[in-house]
Amino acid sequence: MSAIPFTKAHACGNDFLLIEGKYAPKDLKAFTVKICDRHCGVGADGVEWIFSDPQADARARLFNADGSEAEISGNGTRCVAAYLVSKRKQEQLTIRTGAGIKTCTLVGDEGNHFEFETAMGEPQVGSPFTIKLAFVEQAGIPVSMGNPHFVLFVDEFAPGWQAQASEIEHHHNFKFGTNVELVRTINKREIDIRIFERGVGETQSSGTGSCASAVAAIASGRAQSPLRVTSPGGSQTVRWEREVFLTGPAEIVCRGEFFS
């Protein structure tokens, strides 16, 4: 039996296990599924595996709770930044993700609670289109934040929306699957969202999902930058000035060892 040290952190309830790459087992997928199990493991939405990088402060590989690898998590990247800052006081960090190097700037900290502004890169906004589901046709706006999103605007979050979101996630229109966000516009400066993440399911928050939702709302004339994005886990701020900047919290919850 081997003991693998981990740190658990969350950003607005979107939780991750942070593990140094030197402890990575051969089968990252199987191990991630095991440790992310909320009953028989530690429990998390995913694992950020942290490696050294010659051109950045760290390289992060994100594996979702189902074992699939994703390009990036905005919240996960911020949790990695919190982990690094807790070990070495540094106001700005560069983290290489599957969607390129992201810069996290520390804007506040108190104990194990940190606040960062992350430069998320330039979004790619597609034209709205409609997909045919089992019982309804659904219009949405595709947005890439280095990972795929399909943003739906709704008047309310209807009961059972998760089933429809799951169907969209696996729809043949999205070759590699997609993250799904439902967006309710409150006013020009605030939106409320629900998130169904590819490879995870419903989550309390999403950094890239908050960015994609804000970008879709601004691009369609429903909102203006900067924009407050509220999800069940809390609020983040998205500023879009060609590049997208995401500001939000990250909190280190605990450290421990997982026996595998």
Range(s) of the domain holding residue 149: 124-241
Residues 88 and 161 in one domain: no
Separation of alpha carbons 134 and 206, rounded Å: 27
List for the chain the helix, strand, coil content (%; round to 5).
Answer: 20, 50, 30
Residues 41, 140 within the same domain: no
- 202-214, pLDDT tens digit by residue? 999 999 999 999 9
Mean predicted confidence (pLDDT) in 80-95: 95
51 and 133 both lie in a single domain = no
Per the structure, the count of domains in the chain is 2
User: Any idea what the CATH number is for the domain that residue 88 is in?
Assistant: 3.10.310.10
Tell me, what's the pLDDT at 89?
85
Question: What is the reported pLDDT for 135?
Answer: 86
- Residue 175 pairs in a beta bridge with none
Q: Do residues 68 and 168 both lie within one domain?
A: no
pLDDT, average across residues 41-69: 98
CA atoms in the 13 A half-sphere facing the CB of 91? 2
Cα separation values, 50 from 47, 149, 219, Å: 9, 25, 34
Q: Are residues 135 and 226 in the same domain?
A: yes
Same domain, 164 and 216: yes
Q: Which helix (H) or strand (E) holds 82?
A: helix 74-87
Q: What are phi and psi of 199, to 5 degrees?
A: 85, 0
The one-letter code for the residue type at 97 is T
* Mean pLDDT across 84-97: 95
113/150 same-domain check? no
As a whole number, the mean pLDDT across the chain is 97
85 & 174 share domain = no
Does 65 have pLDDT greater than 90?
yes
Q: Does residue 121 surpass a pLDDT of 80? A: yes
Say if residue 99's pLDDT is above 90: yes
Same domain, 111 and 130: no
Same-domain check for residues 107 and 194: no
In this structure, the answer to whether residues 17 and 89 fall within a common structural domain is yes
Pair 91, 152 in one domain: no
